[in-house]
Each structure stands twice: as structure tokens, then as C-alpha cells.
Amino acid sequence: MSGTLVLVRHGQSDWNLKNLFTGWKDPELTELGIQEANTGGKALADYGIEFDVAFTSDLKRAQDTLTIILDNVGQPDLETLKDQALNERDYGDLSGLNKDDARAKWGEEQVHIWRRSYDVPPPGGESLRDTGARVWPYYLTEILPRVLRGEKVLVAAHGNSLRSLVMVLDRLTKEQILALNLATGVPMVYKLNPDSTVASKEVLGDMSGAH
């Protein structure tokens, strides 16, 4: 039997709270974000999983979420690999802007297209397809081989980098993935078959808090 892959989106960040486009900017977790990470960590502790390795992005909010989770599961010294391949989608010129201000500048419809189309990037940034183009090779070369060896692997990353993975794992269409929001701090536990397809998926918590 192959191993287990657990995906967790980081807890709420300061810029999520302020309704700002974040992308590759590096704000801290809010008090709620810390609480969400602790809740996710406790859910994994209750689930009774012991990890062999963790992966996270180059950004502090994902790394801090991972640290909190590992403390909760009693594995603070777990081998952790950090790579910008797992970073959030780069919002380019939108990064740091309030979403309402962006709508005032470019128009509601244009900003909606940038946020919710699959392959139209914002100026200077990445589309969801672009994000997948760096996430998928990293998954195939670094993460998946360890799962297929039977290891239990934890990935703490971001809404869009994880949506890229969920799209492949759950075999979602472009339309389906655009409609999917991942809740912050809620672990998704995938058991994989030897051929890398999904044997089972379990969500440890409430996905209704997705935004």
C-alpha cells in the first residue's frame, strides 16, 4: 500500500483579514490564523498520524502554520523541505492592493477575470494554470515519490498552489477547480494507490469556512 498525503492551507494571514491581494508577499498569521493552525494540528493529532517528512513554501504564513501543526502532533523536529514551487499564486501588480481598490482601478469584471479565470494572469503575475505549471513538476519529482514509497507526507501551502494539486488528485475540470475554495487550516488526508491515483480522501474539519 502506498502512503498518505496530507494537504493543509495556511491559517488566515493579516492580509487575508485586510482583504488584500497577497501572492508572494509575506504577511504574518493573524490570531485567528494561529488558532486555525492549532485546530488543524489537533485534528491531525486526534487522527493519529505520524509523518515522515513535511513540505512547505518559501513564505512565512505557510511555514508558521506548519510549525504550529508539527507542535500539535508532537513532531517539532520533523524533516522539512521548503521550496518556492509551493508558493501562492503571484498576483503581480495586484499584490498588496485592497481588492475593492483594484476593482475601482481596473473594473469589477476585469478583476473577477484575473481572480477566477484559469489561464488569464493579472499584469506581471500568474494565472492558476501558471501556478500549476510550477507546482505539478515539484509534486511529481519531490513529493509523490515519497508517498509512493509508503511515507506519510504533510504539505502546508496556499490556496492556489494546493488547488493545483487538488485539481490533479480529484481529477477536477478547469470549471470545477475555479469553483473550489479551500478552508484555512483544515487538513485533507489522501491515501494514494500504487499507481498514484487516490484511494480515499478525508477532510478533517469544516470546509464551510472556505474563502
13 is in an annotated binding site: yes
10 is in an annotated binding site: yes
- Beta-bridge partners for 1: none
Q: Give the active site residue among 31, 36, 79, 88.
A: 88
107 is in an annotated binding site: no
22 is in an annotated binding site: yes
**Is 36 annotated as catalytic?**
no
Question: b/e for 11-29, b at 16 or more Cβ within 10 A?
Answer: bbbebbeeebbbbbbebeb
88 is in an annotated binding site: yes
Q: Give the active site residue among 10, 36, 126, 158.
A: 10
205 is in an annotated binding site: no
Which residues touch 93 (CB under 8 Å, ≥6 apart)?
A: 122, 123, 124, 125
46 is in an annotated binding site: no
Residue 209: other Cβ atoms inside 10 A: 14
**Is 142 annotated as catalytic?**
no
CA 68 to centroid of chain Cα atoms: 16
23 is in an annotated binding site: yes
115 is in an annotated binding site: yes
93 is in an annotated binding site: no
Report yes or no: 62 and 40 within 8 Å, Cβ to Cβ. Answer: no
Q: At residue 106, what are phi and psi to the nearest 5 degrees?
A: -110, -10
Sheet containing 4-9: order of strands: 80-82, 53-56, 152-157, 4-9, 188-192, 198-203
Which residues are known to be catalytic? 10, 88
Annotated binding site: 9-16, 22-23, 61, 88-91, 99, 115-116, 159-160
Annotated binding site for substrate: 9-16, 22-23, 61, 88-91, 99, 115-116, 159-160
